[in-house]
Amino acid sequence: MRKPNLSSIKQAKVITPAKDLATLEAELAEQANNLEVNLEDTVLRLSDYLSAVDMVIKQTFNHRVWVKAEIRNLSSKGGHYYFELAEKDDDGKVIASCRGNLWRFKAARVLAKFERATGMPLDRDLTVLLKVSAGFHAQYGFSLTIEDIDPSYTLGDLARQYAEMVDRLTGEGLLHLNQQLPIPFDIEHVLVIAPEKAAGLGDFQADADRLASTGACHFHYHNATFQGNHAPAEIRQAIVSAQQQFYDTYQRLPDLLVIIRGGGAVGDLAYLNDYELAALVAEQPVPVWVGIGHERDKVILDEVAHTSFDTPSKVIAAIGSHLAQLVSQTLQYQAQIKQAAQRQLNTAEQQTARQLSQIQSQTIGQLTALRKDSDYAWRNIQQSAQRQVKQAIRLTSELRVQTQTSAEQQLVTAATYSQNHQKSVMQNAQQQVIQAQRDSEHLRDIVLLHRPSRVLKQGYTMLTDTKEKKILTSSTQLSPEQTVHIVLKDGKAKAQIIDVSTDQKATETSDIPT
């Protein structure tokens, strides 16, 4: 294979960024036509062809330009950072993608500037504005070399996303939904969602344990990650599972749901600005108190929560304050009730004394009258009782004679009926035994007539599967190249199915219900 003379190829013109896309496409088409004319009769090696592509890219796209893209993936090795960049349409479908490289000698400066400006590390799913230059390698293909990253664009994009979430939650009636719930009268059970072993959780738990030791409040802790791309999904799962677990145990809802996170990097707050998480918090059937551990920056959870606090310590302080206020009100109510009860007791005692005096005077006269009436009533009761006893003795004697006569008649009738029924049962049983013997003999004859050994002796065969566990009776159980066993009266044979044809009429007949 002869090596092409690339020196004779017309050098491509440098396209300046000021030209529009149509002009750029026209000039690239012209260059492609020139290359096609010069190379149409030349056979190139792959490396030579890719070297030519590299030359064209370097001469045509040797400018550094700002490109907006989303980071789909990010990894690092040996101080170098490797990006997977993409552009999506309004439906979230990827319409362009390529690789990007941030080399070690620039990575430290660029990333440090980005983190200082945004307060968060560079990570996947962020939309960034990159200063890039195009590059092509014969072995590794096309990629963009990243020269710089504009942090102000990312901050603006995050602010735009935050504003869109607020507008969407407002339009759906969710932004102030949880805030409309009343504060519980008594905070007895509190669900707490927090990062495991976090410093903020420790501060919260120290005060919470003192409250729990008094029996005034019970805290139920569930852990979730509060930073990283998977943080919103883990927090949502923790909320759902915590609510379900509590309901399964107590058959009721908790009084309060608390979401806390201690102090940390400001950039970690961006992971909590998630619409699905905010919507779930807004739709909770109980008040949600959040303490994310920040003082200036707000997250979307602060917008939708019932009450927002700067730190976890302020959340537990508010719970303690609510319970203390409840105790104080209870003591006040208790004192008021005690005073009112004492006044009512004093009044009742005075009224009782007056009524007792009246009752005593009235009772003496009533007792005298009642004593006379009682003596007269007692004599009447004695006379009436004697008459009723004599009448009862007479009725009892008559009823005993009637009962004895009726019982003797029923015994005679029952004996006659029992003898007749016994004879009928014996006759039916004998007939059934005779019929059962006839049916048994008939079934025995049928079974002996159709036993496999007799059928095989008449010239029939039986097909089974290779394990001889299943008898094949239909063509639907057969398939080409299937191995089957043929059982004969004096032995077995193995066969392979070549073709299977179905008797349509037999199939239709077998499908007719009987």
pLDDT 10s digits, 158-190:
777 788 888 899 999 998 999 999 988 888 999
Q: Answer with the one of 258, 285, 310 that is the final residue of a domain.
A: 310
179 and 223 share one domain:
yes
Residue 396 lies in a domain: yes
* pLDDT at residue 294, rounded to an integer: 61
445 and 460 share one domain:
no
* pLDDT at residue 218, rounded to an integer: 93
Domain extent at residue 377:
346-450
Residues 6+ apart with CB under 8 A from 174: 278, 279, 282, 283, 304
Q: Alpha carbon of 83 to those of 87, 137, 145, 178, 513: distances in Å? A: 13, 16, 10, 40, 67
Give percent above pLDDT 70 in the chain: 87
Residue 503 lies in a domain: no
Residue 495, H or E segment: strand 491-496
Q: Answer with the one of 310, 329, 354 that is the final residue of a domain.
A: 310
Kindly state the average pLDDT of the residues 240-262. Answer: 92
CA-CA distance, 234 to 277, in Å (whole number)?
A: 10
Write out the E strands in 226-367.
256-260, 288-291, 307-309
- Reported as half-sphere exposure (CB side, CA atoms, 13 A), residue 16 has a value of 2
Kindly state the average pLDDT of the residues 24-28. Answer: 68
Residue 16 lies in a domain: no
68 and 106 share one domain:
yes
Q: Answer with the one of 163, 197, 222 that is the final residue of a domain.
A: 163
- Residue with more model confidence, 157 or 252: 252
* Cβ atoms of residues 307 and 318 within 8 Å: yes
Is the confidence at residue 406, as pLDDT, over 70? yes
Residue 29 lies in a domain: no
Kindly state the average pLDDT of the residues 266-284. Answer: 82
- Residue with more model confidence, 34 or 150: 150
* pLDDT at residue 462, rounded to an integer: 83
Confidence of residue 1 (pLDDT cuts 50, 70, 90): very low
471 and 358 share one domain:
no
Is the confidence at residue 447, as pLDDT, over 50? yes
Confidence of residue 192 (pLDDT cuts 50, 70, 90): very high
* pLDDT at residue 10, rounded to an integer: 37
382 and 395 share one domain:
yes
476 and 445 share one domain:
no
364 and 262 share one domain:
no
Confidence of residue 20 (pLDDT cuts 50, 70, 90): low
431 and 485 share one domain:
no
433 CB-contact burial (10 Å; exposed 0-12 / middle 13-18 / buried 19+): exposed
φ, ψ dihedrals at 19, nearest 5° = -75, 145
219 and 295 share one domain:
yes
Kindly state the average pLDDT of the residues 78-93. Answer: 88
Q: Alpha carbon of 499 to those of 83, 166, 313, 482: distances in Å? A: 58, 69, 80, 10
* pLDDT at residue 453, rounded to an integer: 72
Residue 447 CA to its chain's centroid (Å): 59
Kindly state the average pLDDT of the residues 16-27. Answer: 60
Residue 395 lies in a domain: yes
pTM over 0.95: no
Question: How many structural domains is the chain composed of?
Answer: 4
H helix runs in 266-311, sequence order: 275-282, 300-304
Q: Which two tokens stand for residue 468?
A: 């001889």
* pLDDT at residue 3, rounded to an integer: 34
